[in-house]
Amino acid sequence: MFVITADQVDSRHRTDIVDETQHELQGEFAEHLVLAVDRNAGDEVQALTADAGAALGIVLALDRGSAWSIGVGCGAIREPLPSSVRAATGQAFFAAREAVDAAKKRATRFAVRSGADAAAGQASDIEAMIDLLLTVRSRRSTAGWELYDLLADGMTQRDAAARLGISEPAVSSRARAAGIHPEAAAVPALTRLLQDLDHRSAEGDGA
């Protein structure tokens, strides 16, 4: 199971965006969530999912805009589950707390931790690889994000070129500069690695 705990950056001096973010994540990932996205500890948002792809998707959604320190915890969850995420507990939640605390000190404001000691090295490796993806995304221009959003909505590069009023070669050049295709290739691979981490973390917990 994956717990994503995100702490709003500099929340004392910024408008509270927890409720807004909570609703956005719930709307986008609802079918993949074990419990509804919840507010936790005042300025934190927390999500629980068994889906590795959704866990990564939530991380990428939160990372865009640089408003959050993001921790991913992987491991067992104490059952039976309560009605809300903030009332739940287990190794994945302890790992997520450790991860978000570590994320606050890291350049990417992201960290991964496993609830099983045997999977700690694997979590560190995945963290390093996701760091690379987040670094690529952090350098993406406004124009690059505009193209990314069109392609993410299912447009072809030809359709995107028509929408943007530029040539197809210009779209290809923009996609290369934005690292869009490498990201598209990396996401499925990282999802598989996270899924394997989930299995190892559960085994290490004796689940």
String of b and e for 91-130 (b: at least 16 CB within 10 Å)?
bbbebbbbbbebbeeeebbbbbbbbbeebbebbeebbeeb
Higher pLDDT, 30 or 203: 30
Within a domain: 160? no
Within a domain: 188? no
- Mean of all residue pLDDT scores within the chain: 95
Within a domain: 83? yes
Residue 207 pLDDT exceeds 50: no
Residue 204 pLDDT exceeds 80: no
How many folded domains does the chain comprise? 1
Average pLDDT over residues 53-66: 96
Higher pLDDT, 13 or 199: 199
Beta bridge partners of residue 5, listed in sequence order: 46, 71
Domain coverage including residue 57: 2-119
CATH number at residue 75: 3.30.70
Cβ distance 61 to 46 under 8 Å? no
Within a domain: 90? yes
Within a domain: 204? no
Higher pLDDT, 152 or 13: 152
Residue with tokens 């959604």: 61
Beta bridge partners of residue 49, listed in sequence order: 2, 33
Cα radius of gyration (the chain): 18
Cβ neighbourhood burial of 27 (10 Å; 0-12, 13-18, 19+): exposed
Per-residue pLDDT band at 205 (split at 50, 70, 90) = low
In this predicted structure, what is the pLDDT of residue 168?
97
Residue 4 contacts by C-beta under 8 Å, 6 or more apart in sequence? 46, 47, 48, 49, 55, 58, 59, 62, 70, 71, 72, 73, 96
Cβ distance 190 to 130 under 8 Å? yes
The string of pLDDT tens digits covering residues 64-97 is 989 999 999 999 999 999 999 999 999 999 999 9
The string of pLDDT tens digits covering residues 116-151 is 999 999 999 999 999 999 999 999 999 999 999 999
